Structure 1
């Protein structure tokens, strides 16, 4: 099976830079920039809130093209937790998404996990898994102590 060639992105920095480019591309509705954030691997995957697992660049591109047909996606990271190593970085993101409802513009929440690997082309996104959130998602449950002694 032929790999689809992704447009090379000029993302020389780190996983944070790729994440910033990804959300910027969402907000601009820029499919080329968005796909440039993804690794050129057959097994990359994306799961949109309530949707199926979408595997491979061609299928991922099609889902984002369908989303962009309605216009850019007004989503940005509100809160991010990161776990990183030399060659990978996992970001758990609370996304604020603006959606137009019959009552007007409102904010919705999405909980996403973005996984980045350092590749020969630099840091690239290999997985994006998003789930619908609730207004309570802006709060966090953590085992970290509330008071430092």
Structure 2
């Protein structure tokens, strides 16, 4: 594993830990600054694309304020470093608590692409895109059978 790959995977884990800990300060530190050439962007599962650091960070503040419990187990992590850009793809296996006061939990899967850019402050998140993986009870038995 290269030094850059290790650094990307470390900051990526910090990104998910910030969500789990509802740590908006850490989340703010992880995201890159907008530049004259472009803006950071984020697509939460089921949301439209958000563009611009302020809008992206507001969305995380809203999610954190309204999430009582969330835990991520990342699988199928793949990292590619291309000069000053890096792309990390993974499957987010998510466990969340039910509505406040409920003792229920829900699980889900999201396929995520995270793009990092090398900056003077180190690697920073430029784009996060999460797409839900819809599964029925039958899908788990047939997983891997592409002929369906």
Report the TM-score when normalising by structure 2. Answer: 0.76
1:51-78 C-alpha deviation (Å, 9 max, x unpaired): 0111111101111111111235322422
- How many matched pairs? 129
Structure 1 stretches of 5 or more lacking a match?
1-12, 142-149
1:76-120 C-alpha deviation (Å, 9 max, x unpaired): 422212222231110111001113357921320011100011111
Q: Distance in 2 between matches of 1:54 and 1:33?
A: 19
Report the TM-score when normalising by structure 1. Answer: 0.76
1:122-146 C-alpha deviation (Å, 9 max, x unpaired): 1010000011113459x679xxxxx
Structure 2 stretches of 5 or more lacking a match?
1-5
Is the Cα–Cα contact under 8 Å of residues 114 and 127 in structure 2 kept in the other structure?
yes
The structure where helix makes up a greater share of residues is 2
Is the Cα–Cα contact under 8 Å of residues 79 and 94 in structure 1 kept in the other structure?
yes
Is the Cα–Cα contact under 8 Å of residues 22 and 64 in structure 2 kept in the other structure?
yes
The structure 1 segments of at least 4 consecutive aligned residues displaced by more than 6 Å after TM superposition are: none
Q: Distance in 2 between matches of 1:103 and 1:123?
A: 38
Q: CA RMSD in A?
A: 2.4
Partner SS, residue 14 of structure 1: helix
Q: Distance in 2 between matches of 1:36 and 1:140?
A: 38
Is the Cα–Cα contact under 8 Å of residues 29 and 73 in structure 1 kept in the other structure?
no
2:3 alignment partner in structure 1: none
Partner SS, residue 74 of structure 1: strand
